[in-house]
Amino acid sequence: MPNSIEESPLYLIANPRSIAFFGASNNFSSMGTNLLMSLQAMGFGGVIYPVHPKEKQVKGLKAFLSVTDLPEAPDLAVIVLPTRIVNKTLEECGRKGIKRAIVVSGGFREIGGKGVDLEKDLVDIANRYDIHLLGPNCLGVANPHHKVNTTFIPSEGPPGFIGLASQSGSFITQIFEYLSRFDLGFSTAFSVGNEADLDIVDCMEYLGACPYTKVIALYIEGIKRGREFVEVAKLIAPRKPIVAYYIGGSETGRRAGFSHTGALAGPDQLYDSMFRQSGIIRAQSVSELFAFCWALGSLPKPEGSRVIIQTHSGGPGAAAADSCGRAGLDLPPLSKETIDKLTPFVPPTGSINNPVDITFSKNPMDYFFDIPRALLEEKNADMLMIYFLMPSQTIKRALVDMGLSEDQIIEQRTRLIEGQCKSMARLLRSYNKPVVGYTFHSPENPFIQGLMKQGIPVFEGPERAARVLEALVYYTNLNNTIVSSSKKSATPAQNG
């Protein structure tokens, strides 16, 4: 383990001051050009040296005929060239004194046969010149905090707290937009490709030390250095949650992973036990991977597995109760004290059980303040799960009825939503208990956006929300197990 992030072999790959770029041209349909354009779109503050055999300028930058011509040995080389000239190019970079390279080009171990030899040769060159190599067959790195993005698609949205090490570049570049819908982003994301040199273990070490990373996500098709993987994860997990999505456990997943990155997968049980040993939480899908990271990276740890469900609709409440039960969570009865506190807010048709079903509320604002406050104060519960519904037409209907104009309505509604989300978030933060929302609204809905922007995670449907709480409890128990070595904890992977 490096003592500081600067000691990581990945540090200057994720935070380069200067980059030699091979394979970009002025032809926008070439892969290399697109990668350079992503880097430029990000607003990279360092120097970029495009190397091109013919062009004088590439995408507005002065180009160089050969790496030998560069005025310095840059921190990093990014190579997006036809396979047959990659090794030769890396050798030239080595001679120039470049010590870090991202090889994006494919056609190595993953195609078998001569590709295997070619990759061996590539590693030999890297070793000979002391080059730290990411790839081949990868998309490199996205570090929005340093304004680096060598991947195919421009990064949207703000930098975030999720660190990713992925055996698929797509799960970085094609996920920017996905995350930004939830007001989330990557701290730093590595595409490791064939892992000829640097691998997922190195990335975990980097992300473990990275101050922007609050939670680590892993996309795994197969682990090469099993023992080191477990050792490193064990050191990181107690202070920074690690979530893994592993696809090699099914026969079809194993085969696909092998032809994708040449990964050597193992049976599900093996990985389950490896994850358990390491203190890693296993997700069952890409969207679950990021949902778990969202909550683990932003919410306090629960003290136990007791959830209160707050709803104003019976069906969504009952479905949530079922989801919590299936996720191994408990629904405690409310104490007399809490019931007394709630009585003024709940009409006779509402129910003061758990789920707390307000039904048609007298004052809709109670749902966002006085009711959750009473529920967060409940001594018998550790977590709160709230159903969010704000049908825009109903609000509009009310405002129209008050005689407001179209413009006034939009303004009023926006103000109403913003103020409400802010005050609610302030309330929730003042208690040290995890709170998650669930809804059937789109994440693009202004109300749901408002909640997310205030740091309240809101998921589609109760099942996802319950699984997320299960992951939080699992993580707390993991740590208690490490501390006390006594408590038993169930793995969320078993409740898929």
List binders of a copy of itself among 272-331 (CB under 8 A): 284-287, 313-326, 331
Q: What angle do CA 415, 416, 421 make, to 5 degrees?
A: 100
Q: For a copy of itself, which is the closer residue by CB, 75 or 382? A: 382
A 10 A CB-CB count for 233 gives 23
Asked if residue 410 lies in contact with residue 417, where contact means CB atoms within 8 angstroms, the answer is: no
| Token pair listed for 47 | 């120097």
Q: For a copy of itself, which is the closer residue by CB, 319 or 452? A: 319
CB of 483 to a copy of itself, least distance (A): 29
Decide: is 61 part of the binding site for a copy of itself (CB under 8 A): no
CB of 477 to a copy of itself, least distance (A): 20
Q: Are strands 242-246 and 162-166 parallel, antiparallel or unpaired?
A: unpaired
Q: Which residues pair with 387 in a beta bridge?
A: 438
| Interface positions, 452-481, toward a copy of itself (CB under 8 A) | 460-463
Q: For a copy of itself, which is the closer residue by CB, 178 or 369? A: 178
CB of 59 to a copy of itself, least distance (A): 10
User: Measured between alpha carbons, how far is residue 127 from residues 73, 96, 203, 474 in Å?
Assistant: 17, 15, 19, 41
Interface stretch with a copy of itself, choices 7-15, 33-41, 44-52, 366-374 (CB under 8 A): 33-41
CB of 264 to a copy of itself, least distance (A): 13
Q: How far is CA 248 from the centre of its chain?
A: 20
Closest to 307 in 3D by CA, of 479, 429, 436: 436
Which ranges of 182-313 would DSSP assign to H, the alpha helix? Answer: 200-209, 226-236, 251-261, 268-278, 286-298
- Judged by DSSP in three states, 183 sits in coil
In 28-176, where do the E strands start and end? 47-51, 57-58, 61-62, 76-79, 100-103, 132-134, 140-143, 148-149, 162-166
| Interface positions, 235-254, toward a copy of itself (CB under 8 A) | 245, 247-253
Q: For a copy of itself, which is the closer residue by CB, 12 or 318? A: 318
CB of 328 to a copy of itself, least distance (A): 10
The DSSP code sequence of 370-411 is HHHHHHHT-TT-SEEEEE----HHHHHHHHHHTT--HHHHHH
Interface stretch with a copy of itself, choices 164-172, 294-302, 336-344, 429-437 (CB under 8 A): 164-172
What is the Cβ-side half-sphere exposure of residue 312, based on CA atoms within 13 angstroms?
19
Decide: is 28 part of the binding site for a copy of itself (CB under 8 A): yes
Asked if residue 243 lies in contact with residue 285, where contact means CB atoms within 8 angstroms, the answer is: no
| Interface positions, 406-435, toward a copy of itself (CB under 8 A) | none
Q: For a copy of itself, which is the closer residue by CB, 174 or 335? A: 174
Number of amino acids touching a copy of itself (CB under 8 A): 83
Q: For a copy of itself, which is the closer residue by CB, 166 or 479? A: 166
Decide: is 34 part of the binding site for a copy of itself (CB under 8 A): yes
A 10 A CB-CB count for 318 gives 15
Q: Return d(Cα 38, Cα 259) in angstroms, integer.
A: 27
CB of 253 to a copy of itself, least distance (A): 3
Sketch the per residue contact string, 77 through 116, with a copy of itself: x for CB under 8 A, - otherwise.
-----------------------------xx---------
CB of 47 to a copy of itself, least distance (A): 23
Q: For a copy of itself, which is the closer residue by CB, 8 or 173? A: 173
Q: For a copy of itself, which is the closer residue by CB, 12 or 41? A: 41
Work out which of 12, 398, 409, 410 binds a copy of itself, going by CB under 8 A.
398
Decide: is 152 part of the binding site for a copy of itself (CB under 8 A): yes
At 215, give phi and psi (nearest 5°): -155, 145
CB of 279 to a copy of itself, least distance (A): 23
| Interface positions, 351-380, toward a copy of itself (CB under 8 A) | 351, 353, 355, 357, 359-360
Q: Return d(Cα 364, Cα 376) in angstroms, integer.
A: 18
Q: For a copy of itself, which is the closer residue by CB, 287 or 335? A: 287
| Token pair listed for 460 | 């589609």
Work out which of 72, 440, 482, 483 binds a copy of itself, going by CB under 8 A.
440
Sketch the per residue contact string, 204 through 233, with a copy of itself: x for CB under 8 A, - otherwise.
---------------x-x------------
Q: Return d(Cα 34, Cα 25) in angstroms, integer.
A: 9
CB of 321 to a copy of itself, least distance (A): 4
Q: Are strands 162-166 and 148-149 parallel, antiparallel or unpaired?
A: unpaired
Q: Return d(Cα 182, Cα 454) in angstroms, integer.
A: 11
Interface stretch with a copy of itself, choices 5-13, 200-208, 256-264, 367-375 (CB under 8 A): 256-264
Q: Return d(Cα 478, Cα 470) in angstroms, integer.
A: 12
Decide: is 494 part of the binding site for a copy of itself (CB under 8 A): no
Q: For a copy of itself, which is the closer residue by CB, 53 or 496? A: 496
Using only the alpha carbons of the chain, give its radius of gyration. 26
